[in-house]
């Protein structure tokens, strides 16, 4: 006898043991010392290293390329009146900005972040000094005529810019710890630091680009080695949002699932109910553009789920998912009830379902083969009936993988996770649902049972069974 598979919450993929949430506040700041590492940081390290090497190769010690000189003069020839605005911002790239930023983190009791700032900020400054001794390039006023040097003339080698390295390293380090608006401000300030080094005549464009690449790489390497917040919402904020909706929560547990665009939770109320919560925060590192582009280019495993059609804010996404689920329910499809949908905090989306004691058909299916009778045939026919009802109202689920086709204790089939659903759907999406369900059922109960069940539900010659393996 095989050991029964554990029950799993409805609506998400590949459950793993529950783990504590990381972070505080909307951005998932990370209060503990153990934070997850993200493959996207490895991509950043590689891209930053490549950029650094390219700039070093193209740097010439005795002359400046025409394009680089033109770009330098475009900024260096700006009026002197800008100095009062740019000079204070430029100090974000000063080495003194490192202890100041660390002190700010300590003031908010972010001890881990303060340590990372000191390590990475000090490290990138020292690395910049080392590179200056290896690649000796004069300052712009030595290589070009008519340079506007604003402030005290800079000494030493021009390649690379230590100010750009420190500023970009700080922006990279702090980005996972802050919200979207603060992150935009950080990167805007880092960009101003880079531009200001050209404006004051201290560096040429390749110097600044090389420094920025060094800072980006060191910041990303720090996250890769030590971990960084993933964007999971805070338990405290979620409890408050549920209380405002009338749910008195006795226990709230983050569930570690392969749910890259959302954060799933399980809640037990004081009156004995169990809820499944889908939280869509404003920020998740797994939807990082560079990371997704890298996966697309390399053919690696893409983040689970396609972006919902129409996009929108997290609140709009959960609202749309709830609407698709309710449309399916009205058509007679067995889906979880929507208890609450909306937003809270700084635009986080929240969808509340009752807990359904169900598990994936991949582990619930009996694996029967034969003429389609027995429990396997019943499951297959029930599943095909759910799909036929979706088709009747023109709704395509678009993600009928085994993790979203569940079987409860009464051996009834549920369809869950409508965040990729679309209605009205075109023939391509509707037919894709048939293909996906065919593959899911064939793996669970066998090809012959699947085919027999499909014919009993749809009747006649069922064309989508032709490709069944």
For residues 347 and 337, give the distance between their C-alpha atoms in angstroms, rounded to a whole number. Answer: 23
Give the residue-averaged pLDDT of 349-354.
95
- Which structural domains are found in the chain, ordered by start? 39-226 (1.20.144.10), 359-456 (1.10.510.10)
Percent pLDDT > 70 in the chain is 80
Stronger pLDDT, 311 or 409, i.e. the higher one: 409
Is residue 271 scored above 60 in pLDDT?
A: yes
Give the residue-averaged pLDDT of 92-112.
93
Stronger pLDDT, 229 or 54, i.e. the higher one: 54
For residues 11 and 264, give the distance between their C-alpha atoms in angstroms, rounded to a whole number. Answer: 9
Give the pLDDT of residue 287. Answer: 56
> Which residues touch 235 (CB under 8 Å, ≥6 apart)?
21, 252, 254, 265
- For every residue of 213-239, DSSP letters joined together read HHHHHHHHHHHHHH-----PPPHHHHH
Q: DSSP label at 53?
A: H
Give the residue-averaged pLDDT of 103-119.
93
Give the pLDDT of residue 34. Answer: 58
Give the pLDDT of residue 382. Answer: 94
User: Tens of pLDDT along 373-429?
Assistant: 467 889 999 999 999 999 999 999 999 999 899 999 899 999 999 989 999 999 999
For residues 283 and 28, give the distance between their C-alpha atoms in angstroms, rounded to a whole number. Answer: 9
Give the pLDDT of residue 192. Answer: 97
Contact 366, 352 (CB under 8 A): no
Give the residue-averaged pLDDT of 243-249.
94
User: Tens of pLDDT along 84-94?
Assistant: 999 999 999 99
Residue owning tokens 């029930």: 382
Give the pLDDT of residue 458. Answer: 86
Give the pLDDT of residue 274. Answer: 95
Is residue 10 scored above 70 in pLDDT?
A: no
Average pLDDT over the chain, rounded to an integer = 84
Give the residue-averaged pLDDT of 209-224.
96
For residues 69 and 129, give the distance between their C-alpha atoms in angstroms, rounded to a whole number. Answer: 24
Q: Is 381 helix (H, G, I), strand (E, B) or coil?
A: helix
User: Tens of pLDDT along 190-215?
Assistant: 999 999 999 999 999 999 999 999 99
Contact 47, 290 (CB under 8 A): yes
Give the residue-averaged pLDDT of 299-311.
49
Is residue 230 scored above 50 in pLDDT?
A: yes
CB atoms near residue 324 (< 10 Å)? 23
Give the pLDDT of residue 369. Answer: 40
Give the pLDDT of residue 461. Answer: 61
Q: Which residues is 350 bridged to in the sheet?
A: 279, 342
For residues 437 and 439, give the distance between their C-alpha atoms in angstroms, rounded to a whole number. Answer: 5
Token output for 306? 């396609």
For residues 404 and 400, give the distance between their C-alpha atoms in angstroms, rounded to a whole number. Answer: 6
For residues 140 and 146, give the distance between their C-alpha atoms in angstroms, rounded to a whole number. Answer: 10
């Amino acid at each position: 006898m095989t050991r029964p598979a554990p029950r799993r919450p409805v609506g998400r993929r590949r459950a793993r043991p529950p783990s504590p949430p990381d972070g505080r506040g909307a951005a998932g700041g990370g209060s503990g010392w153990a934070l997850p590492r993200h493959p996207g940081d490895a991509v950043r390290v590689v891209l930053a290293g490549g950029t650094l090497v390219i700039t070093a190769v193209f740097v010439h010690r005795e002359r400046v390329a025409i394009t680089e000189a033109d770009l330098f003069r475009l900024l260096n020839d700006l009026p002197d009146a800008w100095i009062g605005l740019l000079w204070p911002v430029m100090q974000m790239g000063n080495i003194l900005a490192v202890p100041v930023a660390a002190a700010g983190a300590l003031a908010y009791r972010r001890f881990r972040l303060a340590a990372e700032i000191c390590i990475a900020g000090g490290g990138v400054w020292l690395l910049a000094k080392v590179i200056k001794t290896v690649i000796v390039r004069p300052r712009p006023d030595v290589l070009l005529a008519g340079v506007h040097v604003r402030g005290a003339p800079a000494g030493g080698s021009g390649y690379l810019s230590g100010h750009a390295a420190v500023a970009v390293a700080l922006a990279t380090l702090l980005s996972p710890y802050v919200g979207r608006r603060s992150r935009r401000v950080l990167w805007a300030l880092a960009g101003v630091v880079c531009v200001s080094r050209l404006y004051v005549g201290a560096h040429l464009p390749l110097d600044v680009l090389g420094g920025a690449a060094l800072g980006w790489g060191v910041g990303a390497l720090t996250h890769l080695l030590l971990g960084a917040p993933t964007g999971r919402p805070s338990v405290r904020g979620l409890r408050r949002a549920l209380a405002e909706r009338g749910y008195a929560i006795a226990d709230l547990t983050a569930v570690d699932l392969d749910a890259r665009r959302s954060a799933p939770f399980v809640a037990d109320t004081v009156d004995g109910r169990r809820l499944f919560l889908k939280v869509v925060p404003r920020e998740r590192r797994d939807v990082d553009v560079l990371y997704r582009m890298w996966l697309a280019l390399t053919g690696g495993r893409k983040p689970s789920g396609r972006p919902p059609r129409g996009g929108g804010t997290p609140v709009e996404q959960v609202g749309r998912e709830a609407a698709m689920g309710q449309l399916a329910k009205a058509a007679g499809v067995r889906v979880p009830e929507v208890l609450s949908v909306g937003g809270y905090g700084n635009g986080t989306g929240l969808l509340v379902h009752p807990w359904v004691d169900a598990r994936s058909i991949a582990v619930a299916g009996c694996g029967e083969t034969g003429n389609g009778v027995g429990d396997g045939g019943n499951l297959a026919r029930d599943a095909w009936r759910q799909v036929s009802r979706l088709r009747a109202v023109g709704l395509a689920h678009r993600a009928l993988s085994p993790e979203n086709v569940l079987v409860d204790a009464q051996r009834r089939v549920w369809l869950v996770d409508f965040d990729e659903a679309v209605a009205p759907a075109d023939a391509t999406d509707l037919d894709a649902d048939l293909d996906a369900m065919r593959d899911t059922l064939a793996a669970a109960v066998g090809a012959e049972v699947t085919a027999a069940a499909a014919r009993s539900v749809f009747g006649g010659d069922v064309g989508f069974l032709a490709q069944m393996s």
